[in-house]
C-alpha cells in the first residue's frame, strides 16, 4: 500500500472514534478465538479479494463453486474447493450445502462477501448455530437493519432523521394512494427487506403508482422472498453519500471519511469516490456523529456502511444500512492504507482493532469505476460472452480487483461485473486524470463494456466540477449516446467482397498500423494479426432492437412480465415485456408504431439474444 501523509487529516477530515459503555455482548466476537481456515461463501472478485488477505494472515481458504465454474479464478486460488451442483438453485444461496462443506473442509469460519447471503440474518444465525464463526455482525443486527422499515425506526430513535415516509409496510395499492393524497408526489416505492437498488420504483403521479407498487413488490419477492414495500418522499437531484463504519470487538467505534456514490444507473452504483466534493469539514463531522450514534443503537460488530441522501441545502437523511462489506470499500482502503477485510477477520476473532484514530491519516482522493459487461447506449443492457482479449491497466496509484482472465466467460446467472478499477491521486483532479489514463489503457474485447461511458464521465465538465447527483445521467444524456470513433478499438474497414487486412509495418524504424484493402476474400471470417474483428457499435435504444417489423431481444434472459397482447395497438416506446438478465430487469419497448401481429414470449419463458419477441405491423 502507498505511504500517505495527513492531507485530509489536516483539513479536518477526521476519523471519529468513540468508546461505548455497553454490557458484554454475547456470541459476537468478544472472546478471542483462533481461525485457521475460512470458507468464502461467494465468488468472483470479492472471493479473491478475501482469500488474498487470508493468505497474508496465514489463514487457509475454501472455495465453493457451481457447474461451469471449475476453472474460475477464485476456485484456482483457494487452498481447497468444493462443488455445489446447480440443480437446486444457485450454489451460493444454499445454506445447508455451504455449512456441510464448511464442516467437511475443516473451516472454522465463514465469510459471506457481499451479495447472495451476506445480509441474510438466517444464514448468519445458521452459521453460528453450526458452531462456526460468522465474519460479520450479529444476526440480530443484520435482521434489525435489513428490515428497512425497522431500520428507519431505529435511526429515528438514535436521532438520525430518515427520509420522510411510511412508518409501516404498505399492504395495498389503495393504501399507497391514500398516503400520497396527503404527502404528494414524487414517491419512491422500496422493498422493506432488500437493498442494492432492488425493489425500487418511482411514481410521479397517481397514474404511475400502480405499476411502481406492483413492480417493487414483484422484484422484492423474487430477490428477497419478502414482498413488503414502504413509501418514501422522492428527493429530486440528491447526492448519495455513505459512511463506512467499524465496530471493534472491544467496544470501539470508528467512522471513516464519507464516500460519494451518486453516479448510478437503475439505482445501482457505477462510480464511487472518497471524499465527496460536496462535503465540508462541518458536514463530515455531522455525518460521522450520526453514523456512530446509529451503530451504537444496534450493538454492532465489524464493518458496515450507513447510506444517506444529501439535499442541496446540506440536509441529509438516513437511507439504509448495509451490514456487510461494500463493493466500494476499495476507495476507503486507498486513502487510509487499512485492509478492511483483515479488520473484519480480526474483529471476528475477538481481537482489538489494529489501528486507532491517531494512527490512521487518510490522505488524497480515490475513485472507483465499475467495469461491467453492459452497453451504456442501450440503457446499460447486460451482455454475456467470452473475453477474447483482456489486458488490465497498471502503474502508480492504479488497482484492479477482478477475477477474470482472457478466455473467461461472463455467465448469465450472475451479475455483469468484469472488474473494479480504482485509482488514487493527491487530489481529485489528479485522480480523475489517472482514472482516464487507466481507462484508456484497459483493453477488453469480446463483449461491450462500460469503459467508453466511464471515459466520457472523466472528461465531462460537470463531473470534473463535482456536480454529481443521482440524476446526473438523466441530466446529461450525452454520456449515454452511441460510441464515438475514439471509443472503439482499431478494426477492419469493409469494402464490398473484400475485408481489409490489418498489418503492422515499419518505415525508417517507425511503427505504423495500416489496413490493406482490395485483397481476394476466402468467403469466410479470418483472424488477422491476432485481432478478432468486432462489429460496429450497437444502435442506441430503450431496450429492444428492431429489424423491420420484428422486435429483437438484445439480451438472453427470463421473461418476468408481458405487458401487451396479440392484436393490441402500440406506439414506439411502449412497454412490451420485462426480461431479467444477469440480475437486472430490462424493459423491452416497441421499436415502432403499429399492431402486435405476433407475440412470441410468455412470463417465465427464456428469450435468447436476437430472439424475436414480437412482430409489429402497420395499422390497416
The C-alpha cell at 262 is 451518486
How far lies 204's CA from each of 33, 199, 470, in Å?
53, 17, 16
Q: Cβ neighbours of residue 522 under 8 Å, at least 6 residues apart?
A: none
Query: Which segments of 508-592 are extended strands (E)?
Result: 510-516, 545-547, 550-552, 557-562, 569-570, 575-581, 584-589
pLDDT exceeds cutoff 50 at 15: no
Q: Residue 96's pLDDT is what?
A: 95
pLDDT at 24: 37
pLDDT of 500: 56
| Prediction pTM value | 0.76
| Nearest Cα residue to 330 out of 450, 237, 462, 435 | 435
Query: 154-190: per-residue pLDDT in tens?
Result: 999 999 999 888 878 898 999 899 888 888 899 989 8
**What is the structure's pLDDT at 276?**
97
CB contact at 8 A, 81 and 105? no
Close Cβ partners of 603 (under 8 Å, ≥ 6 residues apart): 559, 560, 561, 562
Q: Are 275 and 242 in contact (CB under 8 A)?
A: no
- Of the listed ranges 23-37, 43-57, 70-84, 181-195, the least confidently predicted one is 23-37
**Long-range CB contact pairs, 533-538, < 8 A, 24+:** 533/491, 533/492, 533/499, 534/445, 534/488, 534/489, 534/491, 536/488, 537/377, 537/482, 537/483, 537/487, 537/488, 538/375, 538/377, 538/378, 538/448, 538/482
The pLDDT, as a whole number, for residue 536 is 34
pLDDT band, very low/low/confident/very high, at 486 (cuts 50, 70, 90): very low
Give the closest residue to 607 by CA, choosing from 569, 566, 550, 565. 550
Tell me how many degrees the CA angle 105-107-113 measures, rounded to the nearest 5. Answer: 115
Q: How many CB atoms lie within 10 A of CB 174?
A: 10
Helix residue ranges per DSSP H, 250-371: 281-297, 329-336, 340-348
**Model confidence pLDDT, tens digit, residues 498-514:** 445 677 776 765 456 77
Between CA 206 and CA 209 the distance in angstroms is 5
Task: Look at strands 259-265 and 133-134 and give their pairing.
Answer: unpaired
Amino acid at each position: 500500500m502507498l505511504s500517505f501523509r495527513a492531507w485530509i487529516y489536516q483539513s479536518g477530515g477526521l476519523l471519529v472514534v468513540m468508546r461505548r459503555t455497553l454490557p458484554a455482548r454475547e456470541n459476537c466476537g468478544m472472546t478471542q478465538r483462533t481461525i485457521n481456515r475460512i470458507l468464502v461463501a461467494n465468488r468472483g472478485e470479492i472471493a479473491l479479494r478475501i482469500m488474498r488477505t487470508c493468505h497474508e494472515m496465514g489463514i487457509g481458504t475454501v472455495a465453493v463453486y457451481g457447474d461451469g465454474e471449475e476453472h474460475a479464478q477464485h476456485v484456482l486460488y483457494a487452498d481447497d474447493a468444493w462443488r455445489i451442483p446447480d440443480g437446486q438453485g444457485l450454489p451460493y444461496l444454499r445454506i445447508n450445502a455451504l455449512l456441510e462443506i464448511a464442516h467437511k473442509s475443516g473451516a472454522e469460519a465463514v465469510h459471506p462477501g457481499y451479495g447472495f447471503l451476506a445480509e441474510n440474518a438466517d444464514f448468519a444465525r445458521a452459521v453460528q448455530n453450526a458452531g462456526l464463526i460468522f465474519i460479520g455482525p450479529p444476526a440480530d443486527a443484520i435482521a434489525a437493519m435489513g428490515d428497512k422499515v425497522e431500520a428507519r425506526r431505529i435511526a429515528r430513535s438514535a436521532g438520525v432523521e430518515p427520509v420522510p415516509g411510511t412508518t409501516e409496510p404498505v399492504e395495498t395499492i389503495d393504501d399507497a394512494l391514500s398516503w400520497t393524497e396527503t404527502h404528494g408526489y414524487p414517491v419512491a416505492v422500496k422493498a422493506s427487506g432488500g437493498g442494492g437498488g432492488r425493489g425500487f420504483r418511482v411514481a410521479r403521479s397517481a397514474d404511475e403508482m400502480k405499476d411502481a407498487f406492483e413492480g417493487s413488490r414483484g422484484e422484492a419477492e423474487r430477490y428477497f422472498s419478502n414482498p413488503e414495500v414502504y413509501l418514501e418522499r422522492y428527493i429530486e437531484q440528491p447526492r448519495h453519500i455513505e459512511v463506512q463504519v467499524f465496530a471493534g470487538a472491544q467496544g470501539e467505534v470508528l467512522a471513516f471519511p464519507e464516500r460519494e456514490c451518486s453516479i448510478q444507473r437503475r439505482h445501482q452504483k457505477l462510480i464511487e469516490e472518497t471524499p465527496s466534493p460536496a462535503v465540508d469539514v462541518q458536514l463530515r463531522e455531522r455525518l460521522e456523529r450520526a453514523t456512530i450514534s446509529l451503530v451504537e443503537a444496534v450493538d454492532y460488530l465489524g464493518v458496515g456502511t450507513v447510506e444517506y441522501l444529501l439535499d442541496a441545502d446540506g440536509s441529509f437523511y438516513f437511507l439504509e444500512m448495509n451490514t456487510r462489506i461494500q463493493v466500494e470499500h476499495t476507495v476507503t482502503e486507498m486513502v487510509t492504507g487499512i485492509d478492511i477485510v483483515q479488520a473484519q477477520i480480526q474483529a471476528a476473532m475477538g481481537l482489538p482493532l489494529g489501528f486507532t484514530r491517531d494512527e490512521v491519516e487518510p490522505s488524497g482522493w480515490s475513485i472507483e469505476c465499475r467495469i461491467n459487461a453492459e452497453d451504456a447506449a442501450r440503457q446499460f443492457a447486460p451482455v454475456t460472452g467470452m473475453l477474447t482479449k483482456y489486458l488490465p491497466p497498471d502503474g502508480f496509484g492504479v488497482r484492479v480487483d477482478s477475477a477474470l482472465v482472457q478466455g473467461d466467460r461472463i455467465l448469465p446467472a450472475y451479475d455483469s461485473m468484469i472488474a473494479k478499477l480504482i485509482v488514487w491521486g493527491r487530489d481529485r483532479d489528479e485522480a480523475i486524470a489517472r482514472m482516464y489514463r487507466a481507462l484508456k489503457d484497459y483493453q477488453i474485447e469480446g463483449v461491450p463494456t462500460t469503459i467508453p461511458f466511464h471515459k466520457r464521465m472523466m472528461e465531462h465538465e460537470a463531473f470534473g466540477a463535482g456536480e454529481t447527483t443521482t440524476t446526473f445521467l438523466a441530466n446529461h444524456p450525452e454520456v449515454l449516446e452511441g460510441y464515438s470513433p475514439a471509443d472503439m478499438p482499431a478494426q477492419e474497414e469493409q469494402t464490398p467482397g473484400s475485408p481489409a487486412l490489418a498489418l503492422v509495418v515499419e518505415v525508417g524504424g517507425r511503427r505504423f498500423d495500416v489496413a490493406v484493402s482490395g485483397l481476394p476474400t476466402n468467403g469466410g471470417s479470418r483472424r488477422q494479426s491476432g485481432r478478432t474483428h468486432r462489429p460496429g457499435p450497437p444502435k442506441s435504444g430503450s431496450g429492444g432492437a428492431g429489424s423491420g417489423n420484428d422486435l429483437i431481444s438484445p439480451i438472453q434472459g427470463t421473461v418476468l412480465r408481458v405487458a401487451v397482447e396479440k392484436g393490441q395497438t402500440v406506439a414506439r416506446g411502449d412497454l412490451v415485456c420485462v426480461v431479467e438478465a444477469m440480475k437486472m430487469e430490462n424493459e423491452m419497448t416497441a421499436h415502432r408504431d403499429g399492431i402486435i401481429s405476433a407475440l412470441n414470449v410468455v412470463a417465465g419463458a427464456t428469450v435468447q439474444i436476437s430472439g424475436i419477441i414480437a412482430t409489429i405491423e402497420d395499422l390497416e
